[in-house]
Structure formats: C-alpha cells, structure tokens
C-alpha cells in the first residue's frame, strides 16, 4: 500500500528538496499531486505502464454494447480493449470502416468480429442474440484522490512514480533536470515495463483451425 504523500516525499527527497523530518509544504504538495495525476493519466494511454488486465463478462443482445453501462459498467469508456470472445470463442477485431461496409448489420447470430469506436461503443457482427461477451481490457490508473488515501500498486510502481515525478518537477524546483534524476527514471521505468511484458503464447488453442483472418477477408490456414 502506498499514498500520494509517500510518492511525493520520495520525489522531493530525490531532488534534495525535502529533508528528513521536514513537513511537506501544502502548496507544493498540491502542485506535485496534479503532476502525479498527469503522469498516471499519461501511463494509462499505453500498454507498457498500465498494471492490470481485466476480464469482464456479460450477456448481450443487439448490434453493439456500451462500455461504462451494465453489464460492462466496470469498464471505463476509452479503456483499451485487448481482445474479445463470444460464448467462449475468440472474436476478430475489425476497423470501424470495415464494420461500416457491412450491409446487413442486424443479421443475428454468434458475433465473430467486433469494432471498437475508441471510446464507449463496441459494434458486433453478427448482432448478438443473448450471447455471453468477454472483454479483456487494460485497466487505467485511477487518479490519486488526495495525499493520504492508500492505494495498492504492483512492485516497482511506487519508485517509478516517484522517479518520474522528480523529473517532472525538477525544471520548476531546480531550474533543470540533473542527469542523475534522468538515469533514475530511466532505470525505474525499464524495470516496470520489463515486468509488464507478458510472454507470447503461440497456438494456445491447438484445436482451432484458424490461424488468422476475419469474417470479411476470409480465414488463413
């Protein structure tokens, strides 16, 4: 468990702007908290730093489903979709242009492809008819609500947040970014990204005859 206060204190200590036993200045803490949340938001947009993959399931009927609403209320609009299944079978991602080119979008059955609009709507084809849809998403960071709320972070993230915050605050507090801070940030981010790399699994389903492709272009064998 960690708090924003702990991360901010570590960052300021790394810049020699907070001595042992010194009380954190409230105005400086507020500025650091804003920067810290900006870093968390920035990390949430990519796949290297976001710490958790989540599977959410729900029964769907119709040509689309909406993130942020039941049964997918737990998925925030804009949260990256990594993969999807319908009734336990993989669905193939297609572009919005490819989905738009489908003529009979209301044809129902088990969805085989999906098109995500990048925000809250996931279009399905064929249209779902009470099928169970599983979405694998990469959860973003929540904002640090205040200085003292406790959060659970994977190993390495407290140090990475502190190192990046130190680099972000250094220009205004030190007049520049010392090489040592840059090296510390580079090392911390490398460690977290390296930990987040999931091993590639080739041919996870040996019974599947499909090696790639989609319903629009055909399947490669």
Burial of 166 (0-12, 13-18, 19+ CB in 10 A): buried
Return d(Cα 86, Cα 124) in angstroms, integer: 10
**pLDDT reported for residue 154:** 85
Domain ranges of the chain: 4-49+142-196, 52-139
Tell me the C-alpha distance between 99 and 3, whole Å: 44
pLDDT recorded at residue 10: 97
The rounded distance, in Å, linking the Cα atoms of 140 and 53 is 9
Q: What is the pLDDT of residue 46?
A: 65
- Ordered per-residue pLDDT tens for the chain, 221 residues: 899 999 999 999 999 999 988 999 999 999 999 999 999 988 887 666 766 788 999 999 999 999 999 999 999 898 889 999 999 999 999 999 999 999 999 999 999 999 999 999 999 999 999 999 999 998 778 789 999 999 888 889 999 999 999 999 999 999 999 999 999 999 999 998 887 655 444 443 433 334 444 444 444 44
What pLDDT is recorded for position 210?
Answer: 40
Q: Cα dist. 74→55, 120, 123, 124 in Å?
A: 10, 12, 18, 19
């Amino acid at each position: 468990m960690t708090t924003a206060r702990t991360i901010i204190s570590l960052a300021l200590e790394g810049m020699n702007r907070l001595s042992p036993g010194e009380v954190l200045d409230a105005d400086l803490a507020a500025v650091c908290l804003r920067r810290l949340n900006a870093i968390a938001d920035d990390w949430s947009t990519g796949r290297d730093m976001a710490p958790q993959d989540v599977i959410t399931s729900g029964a769907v009927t119709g040509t689309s489903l909406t993130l942020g609403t039941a049964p997918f209320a737990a998925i925030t609009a804009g949260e990256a979709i990594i993969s999807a299944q319908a009734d336990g079978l993989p669905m193939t991602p297609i572009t919005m242009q490819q989905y738009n080119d489908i003529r009979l979008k209301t044809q129902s059955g088990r969805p085989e492809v999906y098109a995500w609009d990048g925000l809250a709507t996931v279009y399905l084809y064929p249209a779902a008819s009470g099928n169970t849809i599983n979405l694998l998403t990469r959860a973003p960071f929540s904002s640090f609500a205040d200085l003292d709320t406790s959060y659970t972070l994977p190993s390495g993230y407290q140090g990475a947040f502190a190192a990046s915050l130190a680099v972000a605050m250094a220009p205004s507090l030190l007049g520049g970014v010392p090489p040592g801070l840059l090296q510390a940030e580079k090392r911390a981010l490398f460690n977290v990204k390296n930990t987040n790399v999931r091993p590639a699994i080739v041919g996870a389903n040996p019974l599947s005859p499909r090696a790639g492709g989609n319903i629009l272009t055909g399947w490669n064998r």
